[in-house]
Structure 1
């Protein structure tokens, strides 16, 4: 069953890290009761590194609540809500269950999955767990990003439901496998590239890889 467990937004701010250093990031989001979702993202939300994050094809970040138990057991910690900087923490929508191009209704808004998330070391630094980043990549439990098709209000108690499954059937998990492990397989790369709804930044990365492969 699809369920919204945590709804979080937040602007970039200076975070104090365990090693005494500081960083400016939008990863530390806070519980939100309601916010308007426009094509640029949630009102009151933002990113610090606009080169690698944000934009209309990456307006909403989603992470599966099911993964929290795994990480807490593995690293012996209790994770805060929205630990991975996601806007929506959900159940029933893991990377293997969700496809690039799937469309979901969340509250009044309509969103479409555009790419799997490429995690960075901001997650490890924020949580103080150096080894969690390579484990996220290894498992493919990265979360994923969405564009907004219809704007509207989203609330903490909003229902979330899948409206359509993309006919290509390429799961976020499969996309992760290609991006992180099968990038030397031209057929696998081209299969992901065939999805028109794929985010442009993700497409550019795979096209570069595919171009290099063709020259070999």
Structure 2
């Protein structure tokens, strides 16, 4: 049974990055009309960076790698932001690889798996923590605080089974952990309620580096 679909597949266009001491950012994602190969990129700094073949990443210290191989954002959340900001937002505006429709991304459980099309399987890992590059792209006052407070973060995903993805592919939830934490709750605790950090240790599929960070802070 299909729970949603891929509305757009977006690949980055390299641009100068005025927000960081880096030569390039690929937050400017544009839709493509052909199947794109998706595979696990490996370690964040030394691997292939993005999970999508042909999708560049500028800040490889903070973005990409196996636990942020793919970033998805829901068209429904874009529609909410359009009303909030009073301007149109095309798919890819937030720098996501997959613009989805019909799937509750922030309600997804960390560790949840999605089957996309006939082969590809992805696993939700965490919400998107906003950065200075995102602030510069949006040109909205106090954007990082607003984005964090609203908690419509989209979802980062790791690649479980490689494959291809294209616009129109179905998305179905192939596995949902019996015990975990939603993307929304995990983000809220991590960003705004750190007294409850230990709650995140219940999250199946939480990235190892994040789990280690939390264990250090709660021990």
What TM-score, normalized to structure 1? Answer: 0.86
The one of 148, 172, 178 equivalent to 2:183 is: 172
Aligned counterpart, 1:32: 32
CA drift at 1:196:
4.1
* Matched residues, number: 204
Q: Distance in 1 between matches of 2:8 and 2:142?
A: 25
Contact 2:155 2:183 in 1 (8 A): yes
CA drift at 1:16:
7.5
Contact 1:115 1:202 in 2 (8 A): no
Aligned counterpart, 1:148: 159
CA drift at 1:95:
4.1
The one of 86, 111, 119 equivalent to 2:122 is: 111
The one of 98, 101, 106 equivalent to 2:111 is: 101
Matches within 5 A, 1:1-216: 1-10=3-12, 12-14=14-16, 24-33=24-33, 34-40=35-41, 41-107=51-117, 108-185=119-196, 189-211=197-219
CA drift at 1:96:
4.1
What TM-score, normalized to structure 2? Answer: 0.85
SS in 2 for 1:198: coil
CA drift at 1:37:
0.5
Contact 2:130 2:144 in 1 (8 A): yes
Q: Distance in 1 between matches of 2:78 and 2:27?
A: 16
- Where structure 1 has 5 or more consecutive residues not aligned to the other structure, the ranges are 212-216
Larger strand percent? 1
Contact 2:180 2:204 in 1 (8 A): no
Q: Distance in 1 between matches of 2:17 and 2:131?
A: 16
CA drift at 1:47:
1.3
